[in-house]
A and B are shown apart, each in its own frame.
Chain A
Amino acid sequence: MYSASDLRKGLKVLIDGAPYVITDFEFSKPGKGQSLYRCKLRNMITGNQLVQTYRSNDKFEKPALEERKMQYLYNQGDEYHFMDTENFDQIFITKEQMGDNVNFLQDNMELDVLLFEDRPIDVTLPIFVNLLVTVAEPWAKGDTSGTDTKPITVETGYVLNVPPFVVEGDKIQIDTRTGAYVTRVKE
Chain B
Amino acid sequence: MLDQEGLYMRAAFFRAIRLFFQEQGFLEVDTPIRQPLVLPEQNIVPIPSGTHFLQSSPELYMKRLLAAGCNRIFQVSRCFRQGERGRLHLEEFVMLEWYRLDADYNDLMTDCEDLFDFLTTEMLDCIFPVHLGLGWERLTVKEAFDNYCPISATEALTKGNFDQLLVEQVEPRLGQITPTFLCDYPLQLASLARPKIEQPEVAERFELYVSGIELANGFSELTDAEMQRKRFEEEYTKMDDERGRQGKMPERFLEDLGQIDQAAGIAMGLDRLFMLLLGKEQLAEAVPFAPDELDS
Within 8 A of B (CB), among A23-54: 26-36, 38, 53
Closest Cβ of chain B to A48, distance in Å, is 21
Contact with A along B204-218 (1 / 0, CB 8 A): 000100000010010
Query: Given A30-B171, A32-B190: A5 and B164 within 8 A (CB)?
Result: no
A26 interface neighbour in B44, B84, B86, Cβ under 8 Å: B86
Quick check: is B87 within 8 A (CB to CB) of the other chain? yes
Count class of interface residues, chain B = 20 to 34
The answer on a CB contact under 8 Å between B167 and A30 is yes
Smallest beta-carbon distance A185→chain B, Å: 39
Once bound together, how far apart are the Cα atoms of A27 and B84, in whole Å? 8
Chain B positions within 8 Å of A53 at CB level: 164, 168
Of residues 89 through 105 on chain A, the ones whose CB sits less than 8 Å from some CB of chain B are none
Given A5-B83, A53-B164, residue A32 in contact with residue B217 (CB < 8 A): yes
Q: Is the pair A27, B86 in contact by a Cβ cutoff of 8 Å?
A: yes
Tell me the smallest distance from the CB of B162 to a CB of chain A, in Å.
8
User: Is B85 an interface residue, CB under 8 A from the partner?
Assistant: yes
Closest CB in chain A relative to B86 CB, distance in Å: 3
Contact status of A34 and B163, CB under 8 A, knowing A29-B43, A53-B168: yes
Contact A36 B85 (CB under 8 A): no
Chain A nearest Cβ from B93, distance in angstroms:
12
Enumerate chain B residues within 8 angstroms of A33, measured Cβ to Cβ: 43, 162-163, 166-167, 189
The interface residues of chain B lying within 8 Å CB-to-CB of A35 are 43, 83-84
Whether A30 lies near B86 (C-beta < 8 A) is no
Contact indicator B84/A32 (Cβ below 8 Å): no
A10 CB to nearest B CB, Å: 14
Residues of A contacting B44 in the complex (Cβ-Cβ under 8 angstroms): 32
B241 to chain A, nearest CB (A): 12
B4-41 interface code vs A (CB 8 A; 1 in, 0 out)? 00000000000000000000000000000000000001
B55 interface residue per 8 A CB criterion: no
Given contacts A36-B167, A53-B168, are A27 and B85 in contact (CB under 8 A)? yes
User: In angstroms, how far is the closest chain B Cβ from the Cβ of A59?
Assistant: 15
In-complex Cβ contact of A29 among B84, B162, B189 (8 A): B84
**Contact A32 B87, beta carbon cutoff 8 Å:** no
B231 within 8 A of A: no
Closest residue to A37 on the B side, CB-wise?
A: B86
Complex contacts, A27 vs chain B, CB 8 Å: 84-89
Chain A 106-165 interface residues, beta-carbon cutoff 8 Å to B: none
Q: Is B191 an interface residue (CB 8 A)?
A: yes
B89 touches A29 (CB 8 A): yes
B267 to chain A: closest CB distance in Å? 9
Q: How far is A28 from B166 in the complex, measured between Cα atoms in Å? A: 10
When distances are taken between beta carbons in the complex, the residues of chain B under 8 Å from A31 are: 207, 214, 217
Q: With A27-B86, A27-B89 known to touch, is A32 a contact of B43 (CB < 8 Å)?
A: yes
Instruction: Please measure, in the bound complex, the distance between the C-alpha atom of A38 and the C-alpha atom of B169, giving whole angstroms.
Output: 13
List chain A residues, Cβ under 8 A from B166. Answer: 30, 33
Q: Which of B186-244 contact A (CB under 8 A)?
A: 189-191, 207, 214, 217
Interface of A toward B, CB cutoff 8 Å: 5, 26-36, 38, 53, 56
A38-B167, A53-B168 given. 6 additional CB < 8 A pairs?
A28-B88, A30-B163, A31-B217, A35-B84, A36-B163, A36-B167
Q: List 22 A-B contacts (CB under 8 A).
A: A26-B86, A26-B87, A27-B87, A27-B89, A28-B86, A28-B88, A29-B43, A30-B163, A30-B167, A30-B171, A31-B217, A32-B43, A32-B189, A32-B190, A33-B166, A33-B167, A34-B42, A34-B43, A34-B163, A35-B43, A35-B84, A53-B168
Which residues of B are at the interface with A, using a C-beta cutoff of 8 A?
41-44, 83-89, 162-164, 166-168, 171, 189-191, 207, 214, 217
Closest 3 CB pairs of A and B: A27-B86, A33-B163, A31-B217
